[in-house]
Amino acid sequence: MAHRVTGVLIFFFLFVHVLDTALVRVSPEAYDRVVATYKTPVVAVLEYGLVAAILFHALNGLRVIAVDFWAKGARYQKQMLWSVVGLWVLLMIGAIYPVLGHAARVVFGS
């Protein structure tokens, strides 16, 4: 279920990304205003969520491939799921500073 939810969230992000990028041809001023909103701390938290969704979707996709194409995949799917979750948590901890560091400095001062 989480794989499907993250896939849908990533799809909607890509849809919005294409729309806001296309805005540059319609109105460069409007595009600049939209891009300026992307530099806010709230959007930084949303970007962290995007990183979480993409990373989980990618790691779990590899697990799904292993379950489908490895003869013993179905037998070890629970262990592989917990491995994916553990690796995802470690990588998300590592992504906190690069993704949220600027937002933290804006909110709390440098």
Please, which residues have CB within 8 angstroms of residue 70's CB and are 6 or more apart in sequence? none
Cα torsion through 34, 108, 10, 18, rounded to 10: 20
Is position 102 annotated in a ligand binding site? no
Q: How far, in Å, CA of 13 to CA of 21, rounded? A: 12
Query: Residues forming the annotated binding site for heme?
Result: 57
Binding-site residue positions: 57
